[in-house]
Amino acid sequence: MLPVPDPITTDSGFEASSDASAAGSWQRELARAVRSADDLLRRLGLVLPEESLETAMVRLGISDQNAVYLRRFPVLVPENFLKRMRPGDASDPLLRQVLPLAAEAAIVDGFVSDAVGDLAARRTDGLIHKYEGRVLLIAASACAVHCRYCFRREYPYEAEPRRLDDWQPAISEIASDTSITEVIFSGGDPWMLTDQRLQALCSAIDAIPHIERIRFHTRLPIVLPSRITSDLLKLLRTLRSQAIVVVHANHANEIVDDCQVVLRELVRSGVPVLNQSVLLAGVNDSVDALEALSRRLVNIGVMPYYLHQLDQVSGTAHFEVAKSRGVELLRELASRLPGYAVPRYVQEIPGHTGKTPIDR
């Protein structure tokens, strides 16, 4: 379960401190994010002139705003992401990612709350160890956007560390296990922490001699480009460990304007930048959409990394694309693009120590 982020004190990594008062422009931008389906529809001109809001919601198959799953995982869309959607188009691929449909209420066989086995792999508070040599830090519980297909939409974030002291067991655990060479900052979105708090946690990890790489899994360069501050870029450049950034975009229309600018900035600062996507019905389940996405990424130096088969999490079944279809799409994509522009089509199987490639 994701808490509704409080834009100023979203730094769930640590105790509130004085830097909340010095909220940067990205925090102010987040405070203005769209937080209801009504608002989303009105802002995009999706309520027809002769129509009531209720009629529009029913026509578009949108969930009742009192639905339990919507109270637990509310609408959240920063204006910057909203402005890349086509007004008046209910099938816009960016809108589909954030629009809460009544279909989320469906109970579908095989779709469960912890589809990826996160809880079984929890090693201490905030630390998940399921991949060989790599650990995941649940560095922050909040995100700047709520993606309706999210595999951690049911994750019990409230149990994870919030203050720097609370991170000590996780840090000691990493320090005591020399088989761990890479720490992946995950969440939520780890870049929801302020620069100051991110720096504190990174320094603690960076000081562990057997850590070779620190990786950040973040969607903020895509949905809230103003988050990429000069302090953040400096932090990445000054780590002893190799920094790696994995962003998350699903459609070419996401990679425009200031998003493109900050991705270039990240690339030019010398940090490897990779992208992961999820194969989503109604968003990117066509060769043309996947090709456009890959081309836009590689043209600014961001390498397509994974195309994930949807994890079977409750409420997301309407996004599922059959694996046989995914394999076809990838085969066609590979015939159109250089090898480096074709992401690996993979799935997460609970209990496996790495991703499993899908080839049939």
Distances from the Cα of 90 to the Cαs of 59, 104, 271, in angstroms? 10, 17, 37
Rg of the chain (C-alpha set): 20
Positions touching ligand SF4 (CB under 6 A) are 143, 145-147, 150, 152, 187-189, 219, 248
Please tell me whether residue 277 binds ligand PLP under the rule CB under 6 A.
Answer: no
Residue 182 and residue 241: Cα distance in Å, rounded?
Answer: 9
Shortest Å distance, C-beta 57 to ligand PLP:
32
Contact assessment for residue 41 and residue 57, using Cβ atoms and an 8 Å cutoff: yes
The residue among 56 and 304 lying less far from ligand SF4, judged by its C-beta, is 304
Place of tokens 């007004």: 87
- Of 130, 262, 247, 252, the closest CA to residue 189 belongs to 247
Residue 239 and residue 251: Cα distance in Å, rounded?
Answer: 31
Q: For ligand PLP, which residue has the nearest CB?
A: 355
Measured N-to-C along each axis, helices 323-336 and 287-298 cross at an angle, to the nearest 10 degrees, of 50
Contact assessment for residue 154 and residue 113, using Cβ atoms and an 8 Å cutoff: yes
Contact assessment for residue 259 and residue 225, using Cβ atoms and an 8 Å cutoff: yes
Q: Identify which range of 26-34, 80-88, 106-114, 347-355 contacts ligand PLP by CB under 6 A.
A: 347-355
The residue among 121 and 327 lying less far from ligand PLP, judged by its C-beta, is 121
Interaction with ligand PLP in 152-191: which residues (CB under 6 A)?
Answer: 184, 186
Please select the residue that binds ligand PLP; options are 136, 201, 223, 313, rule is CB under 6 A: 136
Please tell me whether residue 348 binds ligand PLP under the rule CB under 6 A.
Answer: yes
The residue among 123 and 336 lying less far from ligand PLP, judged by its C-beta, is 123
The residue among 136 and 341 lying less far from ligand PLP, judged by its C-beta, is 136
Distances from the Cα of 93 to the Cαs of 97, 240, 282, in angstroms? 7, 39, 7
* Residue 136 contact among ligand SF4, ligand PLP, none, beta carbon within 5 to 8 Å by kind: ligand PLP
Number of residues that bind ligand PLP (CB under 6 A): 9
Please tell me whether residue 312 binds ligand PLP under the rule CB under 6 A.
Answer: no
Q: How many CB atoms are closer than 10 A to CB 116?
A: 20
Shortest Å distance, C-beta 281 to ligand PLP:
20
The residue among 182 and 285 lying less far from ligand PLP, judged by its C-beta, is 182
* Residue 184 contact among ligand PLP, ligand SF4, none, beta carbon within 5 to 8 Å by kind: ligand PLP
The residue among 95 and 184 lying less far from ligand PLP, judged by its C-beta, is 184
The gap from C-alpha 181 to its chain's centroid, in whole angstroms, comes to 23
The residue among 150 and 201 lying less far from ligand SF4, judged by its C-beta, is 150
Please select the residue that binds ligand PLP; options are 31, 117, 131, 260, rule is CB under 6 A: 131
Contact assessment for residue 299 and residue 271, using Cβ atoms and an 8 Å cutoff: no
Name, in order, each residue with C-beta under 8 angstroms of 314's C-beta and a sequence gap of 6 or more.
69, 107, 108, 111, 112, 113, 154
Q: What would the DSSP string read from start to end of 28-73?
A: HHHHT-B-SHHHHHHHTT-S-TT--HHHHHHHTTBPPTT-HHHHHS
The residue among 134 and 146 lying less far from ligand SF4, judged by its C-beta, is 146
Name, in order, each residue with C-beta under 8 angstroms of 203's C-beta and a sequence gap of 6 or more.
none
Shortest Å distance, C-beta 224 to ligand SF4:
10
The residue among 146 and 197 lying less far from ligand SF4, judged by its C-beta, is 146
* Residue 197 contact among ligand SF4, ligand PLP, none, beta carbon within 5 to 8 Å by kind: none
Distances from the Cα of 279 to the Cαs of 30, 218, 236, 322, 343, in angstroms? 27, 18, 29, 10, 11
* Residue 323 contact among ligand PLP, ligand SF4, none, beta carbon within 5 to 8 Å by kind: none
Q: Identify which range of 64-72, 130-138, 205-213, 333-341 contacts ligand PLP by CB under 6 A.
A: 130-138
Q: Which residues bind ligand PLP (CB under 6 A)?
A: 131, 134, 136, 184, 186, 217, 348, 354-355
